[in-house]
Amino acid sequence: MEIKVLAEADLAQVMDLERRLFENEAWLEQTMASEISSPHTHYIGAFDGKLLGYAGLKVSGPSYSSDVQTIGVEPELQGSGIGRKLMNELLVVARRRGSEEVFLEVKDGNDSAIGLYQSLGFERIDVRKRYYQPSGEDALVMQLKLRQPVVLGIESTCDETGVGIVRGNRLLANALHSSMDEHAKYGGVVPEVAARAHLEAISPTLDAALAEAGLAYKDIDAVAVANGPGLSGALMVGIGAAKGLALTLDKPIYAVNHLVGHVGADVLERGAVEVPTIALLVSGGHTSLLLVRDLLNDTQLLGETIDDAAGEAFDKVARVLGLPYPGGPQIDRVAADGNPKAIRFPRGLTLPKDMEKHKYNFSFSGLKTAVARHVEKLEDAAEEYSKADVAASFREAVIDVLLTKALWACEEYGVNRLLLGGGVVANARLREEAERRCQEAGIELRIPRFSLCTDNGAMIAALGAQLMMDGREPSGFGFGAESTLPVTVVQSA
C-alpha cells in the first residue's frame, strides 16, 4: 500500500468513496476538486492499486495552525491501520509547514475515530452542538499541539553580525550588530575590519537574541549558521561560534546558504514559504535573480551581476559625486529633488545582443563608468551641473534594469510572485517603482520588513528550521567557509 498526494485523476474514486461513507453529508464534487487543488491544502490517498482511503489537511501559515478537513477509509478496511497512516502523514506535513496546532472535528459518538485521534495526542477542547447536518449530531473539536524546533541562527557573511531565534516559522528574536560605521572611512567593507568586529560582537549579540526571545541556551534545539557566500574571514567567526555552541549544547548544526536565507526570510512574515516565486536579491555584495519553486529543493539562479553589485554601484557613484559611504542613502538624499529623466544612462545587458547569454544577468560597470565620465567632463570644464539630476537619473537606471529583468523572469517562467530582499530594498524609490510595475503586471510583490531584508540572523535560523522541519540530516562538523557558495547548495554537509 502506498500513500501519495491526490491528483485530479483520482477525483472519481474519491467521490465514490466519499458518497458511500458520508451519504447525504458528502461533499459536492466541485468542493472536493477545489480542496484537492488548493495551494493551501494537502490531500493524500492510500492506494493499493485502487483507492482505499483519503485525508486532507488545510494549512494556515499566518495562524500557525492546520485543520484536518476530512478523512475516510473503505468500510471493510476500517480499523486496519489505514486511518492511522493517513493521519500520521498529515501530521508530518502540518509539522513541516510550521503548524503549532492541528484541529479537527469528529462526531461525538464516533468512538473508534476519537480513540485514534487521542492515541495521536489530540485532546478534546470544545463541543459544537448540532454541527453535523442534517443529522443534528454534535461535533467534538479536538486539538493537537505540535512543538516546533527552536533554532538559533548566526549570520556573519559581511559587515553585520546577526543572531536570530525562531520557533518553526515564528520569529522570536532578531539581534544585529553592524560595523558599517567603522567602514565608512574606508569607502567599503574591509574584510579584516569586518571580521574583527564580528568577534567583538558575537557574544553580546548572542545574549541580546536570547534576551529578546526570553529564552535560555537550554531551550535551543538546533544551531544554524550561514557558511557562505560571503567574506571568508568574517564567515569563519560565525562558523567558529556556531560550532562551539552546537558542541556545548549537544545539538545539531545546519550550515546554510546565506542567499537562500534571504528568500526564506519571508516565511517569518507570513508563517509560510510562498512558492513558486522569483526572488530579486540586491545588496552591496550581491545582485541575484532566482527562480524558487521549492525553497529547499529547487532554487535556480537565473542571473546575477557580472561585475558590480547594485549596492556597490551606489557606493561608487556616491564617491564620484563626492558623497560619503554608504552610497545608497546618500544618493537617495541627493536625488530627492532630481529629475530621473534628466540623463538617460545606460541600462546594462538589455540590448538584443545580450539576450542570448545575459538576459537575466546584470552589469552596472558600464553605468558607473558612464556616470563618472559624465561628471568628470562637466567638472573638468568647470561647468555647473545638478548633482540631484545625476543621482536621480543614475538611480532610475539601476532600478529600471533590476525590475525590468525581474518582471521578464516572472513572465517567462509563468510565476506571478516577486520577492525582494537584500539591503538595497531600503531604497524607497525601488520599492515604489516595484509596487507600481507589479500592480500593472498583476504580480504579487513581497517585501519583508527591512530588518529581515538586510543581512540578519533570523533568516538563517528560519532556513535552519525549515531544514529541520523537513526532516533533513544536520550538517557534520567539518564544513568550512565557502565564499562563493552557489545558490543550488542550500545546506552544506
> In the window 219-248, what residues touch another protein (CB under 8 A)?
229, 231-233, 235-248
Nearer to another protein, 5 or 247 (CB): 247
Applying CB under 8 A, does 42 fall inside the site for another protein? no
Applying CB under 8 A, does 218 fall inside the site for another protein? yes
Question: What b/e string do you get for 7-35 counting C-beta neighbours within 10 Å, with b at 16 or more?
Answer: eeebbebbbebbeebeeeebbeeeebeeb
**Binding positions for another protein, 449-468, rule CB under 8 A:** none
Nearer to another protein, 120 or 372 (CB): 372
Applying CB under 8 A, does 160 fall inside the site for another protein? no
> What is the smallest separation between the CB atom of 92 and another protein, expressed in angstroms?
30
Distance CA 261, CA 263 (A): 5
> What is the smallest separation between the CB atom of 382 and another protein, expressed in angstroms?
15
**Binding positions for another protein, 319-358, rule CB under 8 A:** 319-320
Applying CB under 8 A, does 200 fall inside the site for another protein? yes
**Binding positions for another protein, 373-412, rule CB under 8 A:** 373, 376-377, 380
Nearer to another protein, 136 or 352 (CB): 352
Applying CB under 8 A, does 479 fall inside the site for another protein? yes
Question: What b/e string do you get for 293-318 counting C-beta neighbours within 10 Å, with b at 16 or more?
Answer: eebbeebeebbbbebbbbbbbbbbbb
- The DSSP symbol for 443 reads P
Q: Which residue has the cell 476500517?
A: 78
Q: DSSP letters of 377-407?
A: HHHHTT----HHHHHHHHHHHHHHHHHHHHH
Total residues interacting with another protein, rule: CB under 8 A: 74
Adjacency order of strands within the sheet including 65-73: 2-5, 41-48, 50-60, 65-73, 101-107, 137-145, 123-132
> What is the smallest separation between the CB atom of 421 and another protein, expressed in angstroms?
18
- CA separation, residue 167 to residues 102, 103, 171, 297 (Å): 16, 20, 7, 22
| Range in contact with another protein (rule: CB under 8 A) among 11-19, 136-144, 182-190, 418-426 | 182-190
Applying CB under 8 A, does 490 fall inside the site for another protein? no
> What is the smallest separation between the CB atom of 363 and another protein, expressed in angstroms?
10
- Reported as type and span, the H/E element at residue 432 is helix 428-441
**Binding positions for another protein, 8-27, rule CB under 8 A:** none
Distance CA 80, CA 70 (A): 18
- The DSSP symbol for 185 reads G
Q: Provide the pairing of β-strand 287-294 with 298-304.
A: antiparallel
Applying CB under 8 A, does 202 fall inside the site for another protein? yes
Nearer to another protein, 225 or 415 (CB): 225
> What is the smallest separation between the CB atom of 191 and another protein, expressed in angstroms?
6
